[in-house]
Amino acid sequence: MNEEAGFVAALAANPSDQTAALVFADWLDERGDPRGPMMRVPDIRGWMHPTYENPLPKLAAAIVSGKGVSEASKRLARIGEASVPVLVPLLTHDTPIVRLRAAKALRILGPKAAAAVPALTEIVKGTGTANAAVRREAVALLGVLRAKSGAQGEIAKGLDSEHAAERLAAVEALVKLRTQTAGAALCKALADPTEEVRRAAAIHLRYTAGPAMTFAVAPLRKALGDPATGVAAPAVIALGKIGPKAAAAVPDLLRLLPGATGEQRMALIEA
């Protein structure tokens, strides 16, 4: 029996032996084996029993089967960047629910999923109802990753989706990019047919608007006439933050004052 086999046999016989697990982890570290850090985490080590091989294939299998998928997703997130190569192929799995589970698992990884940006960008390019939920997850994660290169234009295309949930996800992702192109896309969302999307865009512009955003003046002026207070009030504040360069909106703001509600009046005063 070789040395590794001896460790495995001992742990297979007594999985709760923390000392043996840590000694084995040190042994693996000394040999540059990626299992070393995994052996130190009891919740991950449980997925390695009884052979104590790399748990990634077993965790990926749980994503596919759906058995223990929530726990598997958390363990993959704990493992970190090394999980990305086993999750990315599942984004194009034949079964829609598997694609969605993989996307959700990557989203839990957050910034550690940076290596998945090219695959996520390809997903966002897609169309059709079957993959809509996966696209929403991909768009959200790209926003978290602030994947500006290449992905930004694809995220903005989400504003043209027939699904309001996808358009809303695009708005939420675009604001995280913090670029002028993203700001222009948010202005486009001010004219969305769904109030929730318009409101989200207006609220984000309220917090991100500044003197350099002169391109936002015209769409914000139009938003002042939105029947939803949740759209018009943030638009007022956004124009105020643009400052003197939004002077063209002054007549519109003054027209709003006489019939303004309490919230609108406060917004006008702030502007």
For residues 249 and 224, the answer to whether their CB atoms sit within 8 Å is: yes
pLDDT at 143: 76
Amino acid at residue number 177 = L
Half-sphere exposure of 209 (CA within 13 A, CB side): 28
pLDDT at 216: 92
Along the 271 residues of the chain, how does pLDDT read in single tens digits?
A: 589 999 999 999 999 999 999 999 999 999 999 999 999 999 999 999 999 999 999 999 999 999 999 999 999 999 999 999 999 999 999 999 999 999 999 999 988 998 998 888 888 777 666 678 888 888 888 777 765 555 667 777 778 888 888 888 888 777 776 666 678 888 999 999 999 999 999 998 988 888 999 999 999 999 998 988 789 888 988 988 888 888 888 888 777 766 655 555 555 555 5
d(CA 74, CA 79): 9
Angle, CA 125 vertex, CA 121 and CA 129 arms, to 5°:
120
Residue 190 DSSP code: T
Q: Cβ-count burial of 221 within 10 angstroms (0-12 exposed, 13-18 middle, 19+ buried)?
A: middle
Amino acid at residue number 157 = K
DSSP annotation string for 3-64: HHHHHHHHHHH-TT-HHHHHHHHHHHHHTT-THHHHHT-HHHHTTTTTTT--SHHHHHHHHH
Angle, CA 160 vertex, CA 246 and CA 111 arms, to 5°:
85
d(CA 51, CA 49): 5
pLDDT at 173: 76
pLDDT at 152: 67
